[in-house]
Amino acid sequence: MSSFLPNYFLAAIALCVPAFPVIAGTEPETHAALTDAEPAASQGEYVVLVSENTLKQKDWKKAAAKFAKHHRAKIIVWRGNDITKAQRALKKAAPRYVAVVARPQEIDRVFVAKLHTLSREMNDDIYGDFIWGIVTGHDGETASGLLAKDEPLILDRALGTTNFDQQRFKQSFFITDWGTREFVETENYVSKEKTNAKPGEEMVDIFAEQWEKIRPQFLMSASHATEFNLEMPFGEGLIASAGTDFYLVPKGKMPGFRRALGNAEKSEIFFKTQKLKKLPRAQSEKVWIAAGNCLFGDCLRTPFSMAVTAISVADVKQLVGYTVPTWFGEGGWGTSGQFFGGHQATSVGQAWFFNNQILLKNLPAPFTKYPVPLSAEGMEGIYVNGLASELAQKGVRISRELIGRLHDRDTVAFYGDPLFRTRFNPEAPSTQPWDCRTRRNGNARLFTVKTTRGNAYKGDFCLWFPERIFADEKFSAQRIGEKETAVAPDILTENFVIFRNLELGEGEKLELVAHPKK
């Protein structure tokens, strides 16, 4: 067996292209910020899900126990190779958060898809009933490091292979996907002019230099990728995962890398003979949204994948990535949009969760449970064309959006502790658009939503409730300005609420009243 890649390593897919109740004493100025007041799950709300085989491994058993102790969680053990066997125990436990402690050898496209469906089967509606995250790494000790901290990670520094809102970060750098060999950097929240790399400079080396210089806490990537590499935009070199490290593969050596990709013996020879530089090991905790990368979130049942190496040697605490070739893009870019477009307490895990629920809302009811293929190969264009024909024969009106959302449903993985928190620096010139504050009044929980700058704004507003609520007539929402108008949420469950394209005028606010379940 290769020291770099297991014998079962598969060839990567070719590169992808009511009236509102008035409650006294509820002035918004007295509301507390919905930020760090309730960082932990209440007793019984958190479950650690782990396989019997993984629990037999000493280091992995310690990881599961560490998560259970910190979050006052119950450990549920599933047997065999089918994680859906845990459904009955999960339904009985009724968690709000689930950490799936799993060895890389257990994680693939099918595993991720089954977790998506499992999370929606706790009751009769189509939406997720808990936020789950896969906890993994090169070993159990590494997996333990994904445990949420008491304080949030403040995101001041960012790096990417695609553009993002640089005014969120005091220092940032991204290689553009607008034109070849271009990059933009930010110092003290001010973006410099777009710059072109000098002749002879390797873009992958520039990425590595900025990796060391910036010590990013946030990573955003797009461009071509597989389970084992990430290209710089326009094919200007790549980063590859091999053994327990990331390696820098310059543009001129990419053909050799591609020829070796998928063959364990050739891959080992390639990495041993090419004298490649290693990407320096992490110097800072970070989160990574692989918004536009094919296959990046699929471990492919090996510890040598991009996702596992990012967690293990790049100190990535949360990671979002596709397990299939990208096409429609709503799963990845939508997660990014919900994160940057949320409120001050929106975490990466919540953004990913909310985006999945919106995707389900936008599918016709029969297709929220329509079987999707459980292999990357099955998601290729030939399958999409076949599916379109099948649905058309059933009288379904076919659209690009319908097929695209079916493509993205259940395909984007989330790694990390669902309660790990991140915050943008409130001093940044650009902030998350929504400000959400909360207080209690008797048995009610009140939320006041404004725009951060007090300006007019239209966008999705998504809120994960600090505790379960009664999702019935006890819940009310009212837009308050010159007039008071009832607003109906697009999605309301006992765990969360979503308003699609909520529009508040200058000085307006949205008042929510919820009654927690005891």
Regarding whether 163 and 310 lie in a shared domain, the answer is yes
Is residue 506 situated within a structural domain?
Answer: yes
Regarding whether 223 and 318 lie in a shared domain, the answer is yes
Instruction: Give the pLDDT band (50/70/90) at residue 34.
Output: low
322 vs 3, higher pLDDT: 322
Residue ending a domain, among 422, 453, 488, is 422
Instruction: Give the pLDDT band (50/70/90) at residue 281.
Output: confident
Regarding whether 449 and 324 lie in a shared domain, the answer is no
Has residue 386 got a pLDDT over 80? no
Is residue 361 situated within a structural domain?
Answer: no
Please tell me the predicted confidence (pLDDT) of residue 35. 54
Region label for 506, one of left (φ > 0), alpha (ψ between -120 and 50) or beta (otherwise): beta
Regarding whether 332 and 459 lie in a shared domain, the answer is no
Name the helix (H) or strand (E) containing 322.
Answer: strand 316-322
Has residue 371 got a pLDDT over 80? no
Residue ending a domain, among 422, 457, 492, is 422
Is residue 439 situated within a structural domain?
Answer: yes
Q: What is the mean pLDDT of the segment spanning 6-12?
A: 34
Is residue 306 situated within a structural domain?
Answer: yes
Instruction: Give the pLDDT band (50/70/90) at residue 13.
Output: very low
Regarding whether 309 and 178 lie in a shared domain, the answer is yes
Q: What is the mean pLDDT of the segment spanning 424-449?
A: 93
Has residue 28 got a pLDDT over 90? no
Residue ending a domain, among 422, 456, 483, is 422
N residues, the chain:
518
Is residue 281 situated within a structural domain?
Answer: yes
| Other Cβ atoms within 10 Å of 191 Cβ, number | 15
| Other Cβ atoms within 10 Å of 161 Cβ, number | 28
∠ CA 169-170-174 to the nearest 5 degrees? 55
Q: What is the mean pLDDT of the segment spanning 31-53?
A: 76
Regarding whether 337 and 433 lie in a shared domain, the answer is no
Q: Which domain holds residue 482?
A: 428-514
Please tell me the predicted confidence (pLDDT) of residue 354. 98
Q: What is the mean pLDDT of the segment spanning 371-386?
A: 56
Task: List pLDDT tens digits, range 315-356.
Answer: 999 999 999 888 889 999 999 999 999 999 999 999 999 999
317 vs 391, higher pLDDT: 317
Is residue 174 situated within a structural domain?
Answer: yes
Please tell me the predicted confidence (pLDDT) of residue 327. 84
Is residue 371 situated within a structural domain?
Answer: no
Regarding whether 319 and 436 lie in a shared domain, the answer is no
Which of the residue ranges 166-170, 188-192, 385-389, 503-507 would you say has the lowest mean pLDDT?
Answer: 385-389
Has residue 375 got a pLDDT over 60? no
Please tell me the predicted confidence (pLDDT) of residue 394. 73
Is residue 385 situated within a structural domain?
Answer: no
Q: For residue 504, give the CATH number of its domain.
A: 2.60.40
Q: Per the structure, how many domains does the chain have?
A: 2
Task: List pLDDT tens digits, range 458-516.
Answer: 999 999 999 999 999 999 999 999 889 999 999 999 999 999 999 999 999 999 999 99
Which of the residue ranges 5-9, 208-212, 387-391 would you say has the lowest mean pLDDT?
Answer: 5-9
Please tell me the predicted confidence (pLDDT) of residue 180. 95
Across 276-305, b (16+ Cβ under 10 Å) vs e yields beebeebeebbbbbbbbbbbbbbbbbbbbb
Please tell me the predicted confidence (pLDDT) of residue 501. 96
Has residue 23 got a pLDDT over 50? no
Which of the residue ranges 203-212, 215-224, 382-391 would you say has the lowest mean pLDDT?
Answer: 382-391
pTM of the model: 0.92
Instruction: Give the pLDDT band (50/70/90) at residue 259.
Output: very high
What the block records as the tokens of 267 is 């891959």
234 three-class SS: helix
Regarding whether 228 and 329 lie in a shared domain, the answer is yes
Round the average pLDDT of the chain to a whole number and report it.
89
Region label for 156, one of left (φ > 0), alpha (ψ between -120 and 50) or beta (otherwise): alpha
Q: Report CA dihedral (355, 340, 337, 291) to the nearest 10 degrees.
A: -90
Regarding whether 337 and 220 lie in a shared domain, the answer is yes
Task: List pLDDT tens digits, range 161-181.
Answer: 999 999 999 999 999 999 999
Regarding whether 208 and 331 lie in a shared domain, the answer is yes
| Residues 6+ away with beta carbon under 8 Å from 442 | 23
97 vs 426, higher pLDDT: 97
Closest by CA to 461, choosing from 472, 477, 443, is: 477
Regarding whether 174 and 323 lie in a shared domain, the answer is yes
Instruction: Give the pLDDT band (50/70/90) at residue 265.
Output: confident
Please tell me the predicted confidence (pLDDT) of residue 9. 33
Closest by CA to 304, choosing from 61, 58, 59, 7, is: 7
User: What is the secondary structure of 261-295 as a DSSP string?
Assistant: TT-HHHHHHHHHHS-PPBPPPPSS-EEEE-TT-SS
Regarding whether 456 and 316 lie in a shared domain, the answer is no
